[in-house]
Amino acid sequence: MENNVHYTKLTPISFLKRSTYVYPNKPAIKYGDRSYTYQEFSNRVNKLAGALKSQGLGIGDKVGFLVPNIPEMLEGHFGPLKIGAVLVAINIRLSAREISYILNHSEAKILVFDSEYGDIIEKIKPELKNIKCFVQIVDTEPENKNIKSIEYEQFLLTSPYGDHSISLESEEDPITINYTSGTTGIPKGVQYSSRGAYISALGNVIESGMSNKTNYLWTLPMFHCNGWCYPWAVTAVGGTHVCLRQVRPDEVYRLISKENITNMCCAPTVLTAMYTSKYAEGQNLSGLTVLTGGAPPAPKVIRSIEQMGAEIIHIYGLTETYGPMTLCEYQPSWELMSSEERVKIKSKQGVPYITGDDGLRVVDENMNDVMKNGKQMGEVVMRGNMVMSGYFNDKDATDKAFTGGWFHSGDLAVWHSDGYIELQDRAKDIIISGGENISSQQVEKVLMENEGVSEVSVIGVPDDKWGEVPKAFVTTRDGITLTEEELIEFAKERIARFKAPKYVEFGPLPKTATGKIQKYILRDKEWAGKEKRIQGSL
């Protein structure tokens, strides 16, 4: 098909090529006092590609990036791609042991890291047998001189003159590997193909309504599912990337106003931090579209941000689906609803992306569709262009995930008569108390309606009589005091009494770098030394 007039390989590098041609003098990236036009951005990407190539890298070779949301991380989404290499963007909050594992498992040959993480790299450097070149970015922290490395800007200068583009052998070639959090075992390397990344990026463009007027604020880590493919999506429309090294409510609000931000993505915990902060009063977010996912947002979160003027789009997906694959598509009939009814509906996970085709089902254990009655629970399964090509060097895990010709998410949901799905829980998070299924997410949404609650996580904990019962871990809003008894009664007034938490513990919650609450840490602590006895099953 290589020479066919009617076919070219789909690759996100074409987005940068077009935007550079159409908008050469338009701001592509803004970060502090730095600003790059599309022509400057393209030139820097080409230099990165050339520098990597001069180190002997080519198609299929891996490049590790341990970098926060700064311009160099954006360049990392295009430089390796330009020469057919594979980006391995690493979670900056991982432990030294986890970072070492990912770099070794991915077989990365070059590591680009920010000097803030120099101490970690110094510690694990002897273990990194495949890394032939260390490249250090000096941004806010001094250079770590104990590591034999080349400074990033100097590395770019090693690029030979000329264009360094290499054509991929196939649009099915992997262009990135994203490692899962490893909360249930060893992290797995999720492979994104050139075709899948291209299509997923265009899906984001369409579903979030982006255009050449887009100013996108980087509140979502680029190392997380490649920033849900937004490095490519924003570039595709010639929008402006506004980088943000650290997400703080005051800085988020400042940049939204200063840079006329039109779009951003984040986990619900970021939105919670925004509306509960002392900077929230008087904020006007009109004209801002926010995609939120990673955990189901409570109706209160949606309501609080939309009352400031923003539009919330609730999305759902996994690392294995290039980030978001479904969204709660807005319906004109919702205009007739009260605001309370509307925000409850908007907390559903919805329908497939326009680029997701018909690749979404909710099925029982025999792979039959569950009834679309909003009651029968099943597992969410997906397939199509927005599903990973597989786990790197792990055929067994890939085969298991693709059982029956569909990707198995491990998420439990109901299917409504209108075709919208609604998550009930992760399969491992469902609480089975005395044979009754309790959705931890339902309990969490109820508790979030209490004005004193900032964040909450509910898990099942051991109980001699019922096997397990719900326990709530709660972070309260600043200046507000709640008691265990108050919250338990609050829940009992709103849901079945057996679903209400039997215990409440107050304090900060453990989270991933993307703001997801790490339930497994809470669960491991509660079940330490105890055998899980479940009365009844799904």
pLDDT greater than 80 at residue 392:
yes
User: Average pLDDT in the 275-290 region?
Assistant: 95
- pLDDT, residue 434, reads 66
* More confident: 365 or 186: 365
User: Average pLDDT in the 20-35 region?
Assistant: 98
pLDDT greater than 50 at residue 538:
no
- pLDDT, residue 358, reads 85
Q: State phi, psi for 189 to the nearest 5 degrees.
A: -90, 105
Position 3 confidence tier, pLDDT thresholds 50, 70, 90 = low
375: Cβ contacts below 8 Å, ≥ 6 apart: 414
User: Average pLDDT in the 3-27 region?
Assistant: 95
Instruction: Give the chain's domains with CATH numbers.
Output: 36-192 (3.40.50.12780), 247-386+408-426 (3.40.50.12780), 437-527 (3.30.300.30)
User: Average pLDDT in the 308-324 region?
Assistant: 95
Concatenating the DSSP letter of every residue in 452-485 gives: TEEEEEEEEEEETTTEEEEEEEEEEPTT----HH
List strands edge to edge, sheet with 407-415.
Answer: 360-363, 377-382, 407-415, 421-426
Structure tokens at 125: 């450097």
pLDDT greater than 90 at residue 182:
no
Tens-digit pLDDT profile for residues 464-516: 777 789 999 999 998 899 999 999 999 998 887 888 999 999 999 998 766 77
Note the Cα 533 to chain centre separation in Å: 33
pLDDT greater than 70 at residue 177:
yes
Question: Global pTM?
Answer: 0.86
Report the alpha-carbon distance of residue 103 to residue 66 in Å, rounded: 10
